Amino acid sequence: MIPRYTVAAALALVLSACGQSRDGTLEIAVMGDAAALKESGQRLSPPAQLLRSATHEGLVGFDEQGRVVPALADRWIVTDNGQSYIFRLRDGTWPDGKRITADGAALALRKTIAGLKGRALGLDLAAIDEVRVMADRVIEIDLSSPVPELLTLLAQPELALTWRGKGTGPMARGEDEDGAQIYTLIPPEQRGLPKQPDFARRARKLAVTLASPDKAVALFNDGYADVLLGGRIDTIPLAGSIGLTRGNVQLDPVIGLFGLMVDSTQGFLGAAANREALAMAIDRDAVLGRFNIGGWQPTTRVVSPDVEDDLGTIGERWQGMSSEERQAQAAARVAVWKSGGRSVPTLNIAMPGGPGSSLVFQQLQTDFARIGLSIRRVGERDRADLRLIDVAARYGRATWFLNQLSCTVQKSVCSPVGDERVAEARKSADPAARAALLAEAEAEITAANGFIPIARPLRWSMVRSGTPGFAASPWGWHPLPPMAWLPR
């Protein structure tokens, strides 16, 4: 981490660890702190997901465009109407030199899946019935019903397999004499793979600096980093003054959840109609207008209309009503609550730091004041009544959104009936029936008003023109290994 001095002093400190002093090394700044290097298990922050995916492989992985590519499995087939996935493992070795076999890989995969129980990602994988060994290097995953997104799920960093606590690459992490994190592609022959004659010429090192958002942007802006990763809504104003005017900022076409999660059901927030009043009060166009980003659209739906299994039967809420009309109706509900001698204390909203969060809070403060409510901003880890949620979807189907809002994951406000419809959909082999059940689930979960959507998330990066191995990704993060390969 860069000490908390001025930006100029910070840049002086990293001068020997960046840019000109490491010829041929790609310099990457990541918004995050050194704690990401120590994270383990299946609960990973976004920076930890990025770093884990560089040194740990699953059966499959992602390329720079977010497409599924081979990893520990070099090929696979789908049989039994989508209810069986058969993977053939590559010929290679575990970190200790032992040969990769189906027995070891299956054991590691079962352990990994079990560790996800109680999380949304665990629900995404709930249709997995069994992980079976079919032959020395062949694994079969049996499903209770088709999971079209299974390969995308298996490519997630949390589904990477470990052998005695270590990953299989494709990169190794080390430190240079200045303490910078250096990621190096492991030669294929050291992983039990055929030797590549041009490996030494094409492979380059990556120097990764974890830094606070403002310092990470400064590293890029002053030429000490070629790529900046980890940008979200809370930090995007940092890019506006420099990157947007130079074409360096790249926005990812992500979908997901960006809005307020209700974390308390005390008093006013105990009634679904009152929680709906909060949702009605938000002028979403005004929130997005504070950022002035073209193409960013507001939404009142908990499921993105862009998902493959959306029937189109559930539209945006309160269509035909202006923001003023919605706020007037919301204000009336607050007035009714207060008329009974009940007060509404100032609501605490937990948000991450950053100028983007400040812009969102300022608009929410204005909108809620118009209906007779006051709010206070607290830290993102503090106890609160409402919490700003900003999560990019892992795959493009309605189940991702609904699992995020299930009673397994969200304890304060959820819909047991909605969860039942999702469970029924999971068991259905008929795509039309499945989509209809998911639409019913969305209606039930929406009516609970436990999550108040504002817009789709934003994910942004900064990258020098012509940098190989970087591309826009629908998942909002950018694997390191492709950036370590120079073009032929």
Please say whether the beta carbons of 90 and 74 come within 8 A. Answer: yes
* 247 and 262 assigned to the same domain: no
**Residue in the block written with tokens 């029936």:** 433
Q: At 211, list the tokens.
A: 């830094």
The Cα 238–Cα 223 span in angstroms is 16
* 449 and 463 assigned to the same domain: no
At 11, the pLDDT band (50, 70, 90 cuts) reads very low
Per-residue pLDDT at 241: 53
At 488, the pLDDT band (50, 70, 90 cuts) reads confident
Residue 10 has pLDDT above 70, yes or no: no
Mean of pLDDT values over 167-192: 90
* 122 and 145 assigned to the same domain: yes
Per-residue pLDDT at 207: 97
* 204 and 315 assigned to the same domain: no
Per-residue pLDDT at 312: 85
Which runs of consecutive H residues, i.e. helices, occur in 222-271? 237-240, 243-246
Per-residue pLDDT tens over the stretch 438-466:
999 999 999 999 999 999 999 999 999 88
Q: What angle do CA 257, 262, 267 make, to 5 degrees?
A: 165
Please say whether the beta carbons of 449 and 272 come within 8 A. Answer: yes
Q: At 41, list the tokens.
A: 């298990």
> Could you tell me the residue range of the domain that residue 79 belongs to?
60-159
Per-residue pLDDT tens over the stretch 271-322:
999 999 999 999 999 999 999 898 899 999 999 988 988 888 999 999 999 9
The Cα 455–Cα 88 span in angstroms is 41
Q: What angle do CA 481, 198, 61 make, to 5 degrees?
A: 25
Mean of pLDDT values over 17-42: 78
User: Which is nearest to 444 in space by CA: 392, 394, 401?
Assistant: 401
Number of domains composing the chain: 3
Least confident of 236-245, 395-404, 417-426, 428-437: 236-245
Mean of pLDDT values over 385-394: 97
As a dihedral over the C-alpha atoms of residue 39, residue 42, residue 43, residue 49, rounded to 10 degrees, the angle is: 60
CA distances from 93 to 99, 131, 169, 260, 279 (A): 4, 21, 11, 46, 53
Per-residue pLDDT at 176: 83
Q: At 372, list the tokens.
A: 């007779």
**CATH number of the domain residue 119 falls in:** 3.90.76.10
Least confident of 60-69, 80-89, 184-193, 315-324: 184-193
CA distances from 158 to 38, 100, 116 (A): 14, 20, 9
pTM over 0.85: yes
**CATH number of the domain residue 443 falls in:** 3.10.105.10
* 278 and 364 assigned to the same domain: yes
**Residue in the block written with tokens 């970087």:** 470
**CATH number of the domain residue 223 falls in:** 3.40.190.10
Residue 229 has pLDDT above 90, yes or no: yes
Mean of pLDDT values over 404-420: 96
Task: Out of 131, 159, 187, pick the residue that ends a domain.
Answer: 159
Domain contains 1:
no
